[in-house]
Structure 1
Amino acid sequence: MSAANIAPISTDRLTLRLLTGSDAAALHRFRGDKEATRFLSHPALTVEENGRRLEERLAQAEASTSEWFNYGWAIILQESGEIIGDGRTWNSSASPISGVMAPGNLPVHQASLGYVLHPDHHGCGFGREAAGALVDWLFGERGISTVFAGVYEPNLASMNLLKSLGFTQDRYVPSELDNSAGVFPR
């Protein structure tokens, strides 16, 4: 499925759409924030690092196929149009240089989920709404049978969010091996 053929997802309060090149400044508001990134696999990003990360996400989306995909999503408040976070759905790996998609560590019928919100929007249910919409999209649009999400052990809010969506703890991976403390398949 080409990135151009992926329609935005609407929820009660949010719109999720694929990232675009014009999202860099909005993404940096939280990707460059120490509080927002404290439970992510990367520290707060500089403007340049954020730009490179966005370029990589766009190349991965463009190289995605019907089987192997890697999409970055803007999480937008419908009321204001503000980007308050981003999500990611993927089952592949891609070379940032060549943009060629390749199978990742998961079988084609499984996928991973990631998400982050600006701290100003924590505790409002936006994370659950966005993550739930992406999980529904993975099952409904991509035909995925199992979704995984890695969570740092101290991030109880994210663990509880995933549990509320029906995820169960599958295994514990020490941070020195994977930078995640819990993996939740659904």
Structure 2
Amino acid sequence: MLRPDYPIRTERLTLRPFADGDYDDLHLMTGDPEVVRYLYWEVHTPQETRAALERRKGQAALTEEGQWLTLAMQAEPEGQPRVVGQVVLRWASVAHRQGELGFTLNPAFQGRGYAREAAEAMLRLGFEDLGLHRIYAACDTRNTASWGLLTRLGMRREAHFVEDEIFKGEYGDQYIYAMLDREWRSRQTSST
């Protein structure tokens, strides 16, 4: 079980559960065709974003297999607090101690290292607090920004699935990246 002590602070971010006041920033992401291009959902209407916000507000802990921990990435660009993205950790398997990492970023804030900071914090939660053995991430092979970040995080590409599913009306390819707990510990030791 994982119930983080909020807020979680990184160098420039506050990671926290979503709240009612996050609607506008969330809709900037969920309503943007470029953001959802490689995600399993389509551009959200305002009503769909409201429903998505309600779901996210309830995803602040992992108490059983299959649940998602979904946190807002809050930064203060230009001195104003903004939700610039979200980061997720799914408890994929209790028996096999597996988790899944994901992230979404508002394009206006890409290229600043926010997604990396948030993803590293989620890896830490998964390995150190939840006791996972392996954390993986899947991404569309065309999403070079995502798989580039996964590589920089120290995750290794384990698979390239070719036309493994119909995605938004056409067959798509996926990369699977992963990291083991011992690889995480080794990276932490070598960075100190």
TM range (shorter): 0.7 to 0.9
CA–CA distance in structure 2, aligned partners of residues 55 and 88 of structure 1: 15
State the partner residue of 1:170: 158
State the partner residue of 1:18: 17
**Identical-residue share of aligned pairs (%):** 29
CA–CA distance in structure 2, aligned partners of residues 124 and 184 of structure 1: 22
Give the match's secondary structure for 2:156.
Answer: coil
Does residue 115 (structure 1) correspond to residue 117 (structure 2)? The answer is no
**Equivalent of residue 175 in structure 2, options 176, 179, 182:** 182
CA–CA distance in structure 2, aligned partners of residues 137 and 178 of structure 1: 32
State the partner residue of 1:87: 87
What amino acid is the match of 1:183?
A: I
| Deviation string, structure 1 residues 23-71 (Cα, Å, up to 9, x no partner) | 2222111111111221212222111112222223334546x41666421
State the TM-score, normalizing by the size of structure 1.
0.80
**Where does 1:56-95 land on structure 2 (aligned, <5 Å)?**
56-61=55-60, 64-65=62-63, 69-78=67-76, 79-92=79-92
Asked whether the 8 Å contact 1:61–1:69 carries over to 2, the reply is no
Give the match's secondary structure for 2:99.
Answer: strand
State the partner residue of 1:137: 125
**More strand per residue:** 2
CA–CA distance in structure 1, aligned partners of residues 95 and 136 of structure 2: 12
Pairwise CA RMSD:
2.4
CA–CA distance in structure 2, aligned partners of residues 88 and 66 of structure 1: 15
CA–CA distance in structure 1, aligned partners of residues 160 and 2 of structure 2: 34
Aligned residues: 172
| Deviation string, structure 1 residues 67-91 (Cα, Å, up to 9, x no partner) | 6642110001045311100111112
CA–CA distance in structure 2, aligned partners of residues 153 and 81 of structure 1: 33
CA–CA distance in structure 2, aligned partners of residues 28 and 51 of structure 1: 8
**Could you list the runs of 5+ residues in structure 1 that have no partner in the other structure?**
93-103
Deviation at 1:147, TM superposition (A): 0.7
Deviation at 1:175, TM superposition (A): 5.2
Deviation at 1:176, TM superposition (A): 5.1
